[in-house]
Amino acid sequence: MRIPLSWLSDYLELSDPVEELAGRLTRAGLEVAAIEEIGADWQGISVGQIVKIEKHPQADRLLVAQVDCGSGQLKLSVTGAPNIKMGQAGQKVAVAWPGARLCSGHAEGSPTFTVKPARLRGVASEVVLCSEKELGLSEDHSGILLLDPEAPVGTPLSELLGDTVLELELTPNLSRCLSLIGVAREVAALQGTRLEVSEPSYRAEGEPIAGRVGVQIAAEELCARYSALLIENIQDGPSPAWMQRRLRLAGMRPISAIVDITNYVMLEWGQPLHAFDYDRLRERAGGKAPKITVRRARSAESITTLDGVRRDLDQEMLIIADERGPIAIAGVMGGQETEVSEQTRTVLLESANFNNINNRRTVARLKLPSEAALRFTRGIPAELTERAARRAAELMSHYAQGRVSNGMVDVYPHRQPRRQIELAPRQVERLLGLSLDAERIGEVLGALDFDCEPQGESLRVTVPWHRLDVEIPADLIEEIARMIGYQHLPASLISEPPPSWRPEGALDLELEEQVRDILVSCGLTEVINYSLSNPEVEARLYPEGQAPDEGQYIRLANPLSSERGFLRRNLLAQLLQTVAANRRHRSRVLLFEIGRVYLPDQQDPDSLPAEPRRLALALSGARRAPSWNQKSEELDFFDLKGIITELLSRLGLEDTSFVPLSAWPFHPRRGAELRSGQQPVGRLGELHPEVAQRFGLKERTLLGELDLEALLAQSRRQPRGYRPSPRFPAIEQDLAIVLPEKIPAAQVSELIRQAGGPLLAEVHLFDVYQGEQVPEGQRSLAYSLRYRAPDRTLTDAEVQKIHARIGQALTRELGAVVRGSEEVAS
């Protein structure tokens, strides 16, 4: 809402400098988003009067105007403005002298230029006659600005048209401030001054309205009131210059007196009005008195609105109809057929109150937002219709020669209730922490037109008719706080002790953050992708035809784009896209993401979906950061497994295993399922080359996705007790075996442990070899085994016995050949 201060001053005296006023309004909830100083940069621009207009001798489209600028000497200006004509004279115009700065009339974004004397096709042009756009008043460059004929020649333009406009950004509750008077009420209360709004005065000397129009409200629940006035003898033309100026400052385009007056009253009071051409209505009624009904549209009804578009109506839409059908969509847009025009002589002025929720729905369905609809959707007091209609009648009688009919049609089935609220000072204190007595409360609320009557300890507060937003004591308390100023309320930390500590939530938070820290220290960088994705991208992770179908996704009804029309079911697809995007400028990319996936319940599709947290990891590129002193190999499966193993160990998951997995999106022979006990808790592996290609990844990429909920739930909740360092020395012996390559290493080490028994303290695989001296299809595994007893030093004989037993077991169970072993004591 744009508030020109010169207009606001009609209703009260502004006591503060504009910055202070803006600060005050902002603190009171009427946010001043900008203060626009109109004319502050109009140096060297003043009022001139055209004395003579001649044709340019060299150019058909140009005119040469002689302008009296009050300097005693006429100035020449060459112009192409289509709104002045050869032979005319007397127009008052805005004249820019050399040195003045103007906005470019043709260019976008209004760059400025400095006026210089020029010759245009041989004729001197000493001054510029300005358009609205050149002055920065609007985007209109269709002609020069014609000023009020009364404007004195030579006056600086800033004195005539300069102003300060406050640009208010209003929250939806502030519908009352979508009007100058509404804002003036707030300013008056904040300043502690009085509001001066005069009653409309005009003589209703036309024939009585009675019998000349019938109004019936058929949908009372959607129309609380319908007031109408008849104004005859109208001479529509341009509205007065001051009104046009105010409309422009407020951001509306002047059109004609009738339309401008309805808009002016809407801006002034907040009540949208609609003007029907009464004679057209009469024609439609066959020359009889039109009968107007406010009702819901019937099925298959339609209307051509005044923008020339035919619109189909549905049965929820409220319309204004006569006996022949719709003549307006209530509070949204009028019909073309009954629209006012230059020929209009008699206006039927509608000032009505329509249900805001229904109006909001219709506006949304028809996509027809407007200044009027904005006000209707936010809610308007029914009390307002009559005042606004009378004000418009006043203006039409003064500025369009209108003769107002005697009387008013006013159908008002649902009187706006007079709302009363009990308010006790202790309620105020309980919410604000500030003690105020009843008298002070009455004073504060009184400034906002609330009527406060003492009732014992409390007050009975009557809400003024123009405050639809105040319903309960808390609303009144907010008014008190706003008026006192939040900066003047006390502040303190909470005195009540905090609620008892909830260790589960705290632990969960701590663990999730710990996962991040562990992965960052393993060299991975955290990313956060969009939760919105699409099944097509995710389908790249699956073999043809095996991806989840769209029905397994939560799908948006109103997506912004097709790429982001669904909630993701995994983190991997977007993570791979992130890898690919970053590989373009990075030789190594190590990423992780912690985030939710969204899994609808297939049994009960309309219930809320599960939103489990997942952890995804992706590695690609060189193992080490590039440096002059280290060579680096490509990251491989075991880098990823190493990181995950470290993570599991830090989280204290004890019983985990990696089981070979042959499934997309992994390489069929380089994938693993992570299990905790018997429960699968994640998958990892090298990316299948087919999938890699689909994501545009040329290099080997490792990928994993873990069920974070399960990992955190199974993470060690209690700190593990301290284990003392061993007191007796260990004996270390190496064990090298050759066995079929198909036998998994995990099986071998498991068997070693079993056969070794409790005295085998550690099993460490230090070499895996295939090649020379190892038969085809076999491989050599070399372990270093450490034996130790907790209570004594083991003897060589004891160790040899166990070591031999292990060798035998490997030979017997797995067909391993034990190679010569070497003993090392430590």
Partner 1 sequence: MKQDSSELQAQVEALRTDARRELPQLKGLEACEGFRVRYLGRKGMITRLFELMKSLPPEARPAAGKLLNRAKRELEQALGERQQQIRLSSQAQQLEAEALDVTLPGRPVALGHLHLMSQTLREIYRIFARLGFQMERTREVESDEYNFQLLNIPPGHPARDMWSTFYTTRPGLLLRTHTSPGQIRVMRRYAPQPVRAILPGKCYRYEQVDATHEMQFYQVEGLAVGREITMAHLKGVLIEFVRQLFGQERRVELRASYFPFTEPSLEVAMDCIACGGRGCRICSGTGWLEILGSGMVHPVVLQNGGYDPDLFSGFAFGIGPERVAMLKYHIEDIRLFYSNDLRFTEQFG
> Scanning residues 157 to 216, which ones bind partner 1 (CB under 8 A)?
171-175
Amino acid at 627: S
- Do 8 and 183 touch, CB atoms closer than 8 A? yes
- Contact residue for partner 1 among 203, 288, 418, 624 (CB under 8 A): 624
> Scanning residues 217 to 246, which ones bind partner 1 (CB under 8 A)?
none
- 602 scored as a contact of partner 1 (CB under 8 A): no
Q: In the bound complex, what is the minimum distance in angstroms from residue 23's beta carbon to partner 1?
A: 9
- 568 scored as a contact of partner 1 (CB under 8 A): no
Between 402 and 565, CB nearer to partner 1: 565
Between 437 and 563, CB nearer to partner 1: 563
- 642 scored as a contact of partner 1 (CB under 8 A): no
State CA 465 to chain mean position distance: 33
Q: Cα-Cα-Cα-Cα dihedral of 793, 795, 801, 802, to 10°? A: 20
> Scanning residues 91 to 110, which ones bind partner 1 (CB under 8 A)?
none
SS (H, E, C) 388-409: HHHHHHHHHHHHCCCEEECCCE
Q: In the bound complex, what is the minimum distance in angstroms from residue 166's beta carbon to partner 1?
A: 13
- 41 scored as a contact of partner 1 (CB under 8 A): no
817, containing H or E segment: strand 817-818
Between 131 and 458, CB nearer to partner 1: 458
- Contact residue for partner 1 among 248, 282, 378, 466 (CB under 8 A): 378
Instruction: Please provide the distance, in angstroms rounded to a whole number, between the alpha carbons at the two ends of the chain.
Output: 85
- Do 306 and 275 touch, CB atoms closer than 8 A? no
- 528 scored as a contact of partner 1 (CB under 8 A): yes
| Per-residue binding letters, 708-737, with partner 1 (x by CB under 8 A) | ------------------------------
Q: In the bound complex, what is the minimum distance in angstroms from residue 555's beta carbon to partner 1?
A: 5
- 702 scored as a contact of partner 1 (CB under 8 A): no
Cα–Cα distance between 326 and 301 in angstroms, integer?
8
Cα–Cα distance between 515 and 617 in angstroms, integer?
12
- Contact residue for partner 1 among 86, 218, 509, 768 (CB under 8 A): 509
- 824 scored as a contact of partner 1 (CB under 8 A): no
**32: helix, coil or strand?**
strand
- Contact residue for partner 1 among 283, 449, 536, 611 (CB under 8 A): 611
Cα dist. 807→379, 746, 763, 822 in Å?
89, 16, 14, 13
Q: In the bound complex, what is the minimum distance in angstroms from residue 20's beta carbon to partner 1?
A: 13
- 570 scored as a contact of partner 1 (CB under 8 A): no
- Contact residue for partner 1 among 557, 718, 720, 791 (CB under 8 A): 557
Cα–Cα distance between 736 and 819 in angstroms, integer?
5
At 281, list the tokens.
Answer: 């209505």
- Do 731 and 760 touch, CB atoms closer than 8 A? no
At 631, list the tokens.
Answer: 């060579």
Positive or negative CA dihedral for 794, 797, 803, 806?
A: negative
- 373 scored as a contact of partner 1 (CB under 8 A): no
- Contact residue for partner 1 among 294, 400, 589, 743 (CB under 8 A): 589
Q: In the bound complex, what is the minimum distance in angstroms from residue 754's beta carbon to partner 1?
A: 38
- 536 scored as a contact of partner 1 (CB under 8 A): no
Residue 472 is classified by DSSP as S
- 367 scored as a contact of partner 1 (CB under 8 A): no
Strand order of the β-sheet with 214-217 is 214-217, 291-296, 318-322, 325-329, 333-334
Choose among 149, 156, 153, 109: nearest CA to 133: 109
Between 118 and 509, CB nearer to partner 1: 509
Cα–Cα distance between 665 and 226 in angstroms, integer?
67
For 509-528, the DSSP string reads HHHHHHHHHHHHHTT-EE--
- Contact residue for partner 1 among 560, 718, 773, 824 (CB under 8 A): 560
> Scanning residues 318 to 357, which ones bind partner 1 (CB under 8 A)?
356-357
Between 197 and 507, CB nearer to partner 1: 507
Between 582 and 811, CB nearer to partner 1: 582
Alpha helices in 720-819 (DSSP H): 745-756, 796-814
- Contact residue for partner 1 among 578, 620, 676, 715 (CB under 8 A): 578
- Site stretch for partner 1 (CB under 8 A), options 94-102, 412-420, 558-566, 777-785: 558-566
Between 144 and 168, CB nearer to partner 1: 168
Partner residues linked to 630 by β-bridges: 627
Alpha helices in 250-297 (DSSP H): 257-269, 278-284
- Contact residue for partner 1 among 630, 649, 679, 693 (CB under 8 A): 630
Amino acid at 40: A
- 379 scored as a contact of partner 1 (CB under 8 A): yes
Size of the site for partner 1 (CB under 8 A): 102
- 26 scored as a contact of partner 1 (CB under 8 A): yes
Q: How many CB atoms lie within 10 A of CB 498?
A: 6
Residue in the structure block whose two tokens are 């019998």: 211
| Per-residue binding letters, 417-456, with partner 1 (x by CB under 8 A) | ------------xxxxxx----------------------
Between 104 and 416, CB nearer to partner 1: 416
> Scanning residues 472 to 501, which ones bind partner 1 (CB under 8 A)?
472, 474-475, 477-478, 481-482, 486-487, 489-496, 498-499, 501
Between 169 and 767, CB nearer to partner 1: 169
- Site stretch for partner 1 (CB under 8 A), options 303-311, 621-629, 771-779, 801-809: 621-629
Cα dist. 559→230, 333, 365, 566, 607 in Å?
48, 29, 18, 8, 20
Between 560 and 824, CB nearer to partner 1: 560
Residue in the structure block whose two tokens are 């007790």: 721
Between 234 and 481, CB nearer to partner 1: 481
- Site stretch for partner 1 (CB under 8 A), options 145-153, 444-452, 456-464, 576-584: 576-584
- 385 scored as a contact of partner 1 (CB under 8 A): no
Between 452 and 522, CB nearer to partner 1: 522
Cα–Cα distance between 408 and 152 in angstroms, integer?
41
- Do 616 and 575 touch, CB atoms closer than 8 A? yes
Between 519 and 691, CB nearer to partner 1: 519
Between 564 and 819, CB nearer to partner 1: 564
**320: helix, coil or strand?**
strand
- 548 CB-contact burial (10 Å; exposed 0-12 / middle 13-18 / buried 19+): middle
Between 89 and 489, CB nearer to partner 1: 489
94, containing H or E segment: strand 92-96
Q: In the bound complex, what is the minimum distance in angstroms from residue 626's beta carbon to partner 1?
A: 8
Cα–Cα distance between 677 and 343 in angstroms, integer?
88
Cα–Cα–Cα angle for 685, 647, 599, rounded to 5 degrees:
65
- Contact residue for partner 1 among 5, 18, 27, 191 (CB under 8 A): 27
- 776 scored as a contact of partner 1 (CB under 8 A): no
Between 203 and 698, CB nearer to partner 1: 698
Cα–Cα distance between 703 and 697 in angstroms, integer?
12
At 57, list the tokens.
Answer: 């001798």
Cα–Cα distance between 97 and 117 in angstroms, integer?
8
- Contact residue for partner 1 among 196, 513, 654, 750 (CB under 8 A): 513
